[in-house]
Amino acid sequence: MSRLAGQRIVLGISAGIAAYKSAVLARLLKKAGASVRVVMTEGAQAFITPLTLQALTGEEVRTSLLDPQAEAGMGHIELAKWADIVLIAPATADVMARLAAGMADDLLTTLCLATRARCLLAPAMNQAMWSHPASQRNAETLKAFGWQQLGPDAGEQACGDVGGGRMLEPEDIVAALDAALSGHSPAPGTLPLDATPEHDDHAPAPDAFMADDADPATGALAGQHVVITAGPTREAIDPVRYLSNHSSGKMGFALACAARDQGARVTLISGPVALATPEGVTRVDVVSAVEMLEAVNASLAECDIFIGCAAVADYRLAEVAEHKLKKVSGSPGLTLSLVENPDIIAAVTHRQSPPFTVGFAAETRELARHAHDKLVRKRLDLIVANDVAAPGLGFGADDNAAVLYYLDPDQPDNPATSHTLSPRAKQDLARAIIDYMLPLYRGHQITRSPVCS
């Protein structure tokens, strides 16, 4: 049974072309067992009719701030108290700006100010609008207010542009919500997802990734800057298609939380994933391997520990097609010319004064041999190897196992020392990896400068 079963969700729809996806989203939420009530802005009704959403949810769609048919004519308060989750999808640049400014000039923005439910939004706008400093500032403001951001995705847009700003697909939004219910912590100012929002005596739940005895102010990594890469990269073929892999980003995000819990200042550089940004972590979203390398280089000025957990594509197209490639009937096939992507890990470890560097090796056979080769060839301080062919572990799964390898600096010619971590939740595995890394990092601090040049 889906974790969404029984959840009371207010689905807010603002005025973007992606509103057509909201009909599918409403249907999927209902199918998962959630109770869904829809609130539409005036502009949203130009893209999709309230009648469509009413038919899909079985509930009257709300559009008016002062609805005489609502409880005491105060529909915003009624909905604010009813909701366990408020989800705005699509969230346009306009509605994000109004929420960031604390405006309450329609039903949707007013109930968002009045609710104590968990609030999430799925941005949807033109790529230039999304990258504008005002939109980025508003997104950061909303995160500080406690909003969790789902997406946006990147790709071809309705206007013909290509880039970031696309609303996540409805299936990805539902998956992200379901994942949040499995243990992701509520953001500041929100309640646990299973709390009853009408009552004032519910304190926010502790972070699901926070160890019981963790104290960030005095943690073992207090004052250290940890840079982590996570998720897949996408290499464009044309404006519609891309090369990628099955990485979900869960392991990298769990490591970011584990490092944060030990007091580190964490920069999380993520490829396209449907995961909420962990509280207290600075997130940088990228799409391609080249973009990830640029973000990594920009973050290394004061980097103490670098953890390369991302599944970076080995190759990219030599030339990206300007328009969608069309299938030609009777043709023998399609040949793609690929070039090698930059090696991000090697770029870090081959710096004049590299940080302590942890790499990952996702293998399907000969785990020890491939991990040891990568450990030596890329000059890593520690490598985390896992068998992604093992059932129920690795890409996309909630659990994982790993074998950790490192070379003794006093005996570099000896075989790598290994330590096996048995299958467990990725949050627990992340904590174990950080715990194992700490004494190695302390030794690194003694023998080498911890600050990158």
Determine the residue type at 237. I
Write out the two tokens for 118.
Answer: 């968990």
356 labelled binding-site residue: no
- Asked if 183 and 427 count as a contact pair (C-beta separation under 8 A), the reply is yes
Q: How does DSSP assign 15-30, residue by residue?
A: SSTTHHHHHHHHHHHH
324 labelled binding-site residue: yes
| Phi/psi-derived region of residue 36, left when phi > 0, alpha when psi is between -120 and 50, beta in every other case | beta
Q: Active-site positions?
A: 159
47 labelled binding-site residue: no
143 labelled binding-site residue: no
Residues 6+ apart with CB under 8 A from 440: 356, 381, 382, 406
305 labelled binding-site residue: no
| Cα dihedral 80→82→85→91 (10° resolution) | -40
338 phi and psi angles, rounded to 5 deg: -110, 150
How far, in Å, are 78, 144, 200, 204, 349 from residue 115 at the CA level? 9, 16, 11, 14, 48
360 labelled binding-site residue: yes
Q: How does DSSP assign 220-262, residue by residue?
A: TTTT-EEEEEESB--EESSSS-EE-----SHHHHHHHHHHHHT
209 labelled binding-site residue: no
119 labelled binding-site residue: no
435 labelled binding-site residue: no
309 labelled binding-site residue: yes
257 labelled binding-site residue: no
How far apart are alpha carbons 416 and 419 in whole angstroms?
10
How far apart are alpha carbons 450 and 440 in whole angstroms?
12
- Asked if 114 and 128 count as a contact pair (C-beta separation under 8 A), the reply is no
CA proximity to 352, closest of 412, 300, 400, 308:
300
Residues 6+ apart with CB under 8 A from 193: 7, 84, 85, 118, 180, 181, 186
Q: Taking the CB of residue 202, how many other CB atoms lie within 10 A of it?
A: 13
344 labelled binding-site residue: yes
How far apart are alpha carbons 424 and 430 in whole angstroms?
10
How far, in Å, are 16, 117, 348 from residue 88 at the CA level? 11, 13, 39
Known binding residues for CTP are 308-310, 314, 324, 342-345, 360, 374, 378
Known binding residues are 308-310, 314, 324, 342-345, 360, 374, 378
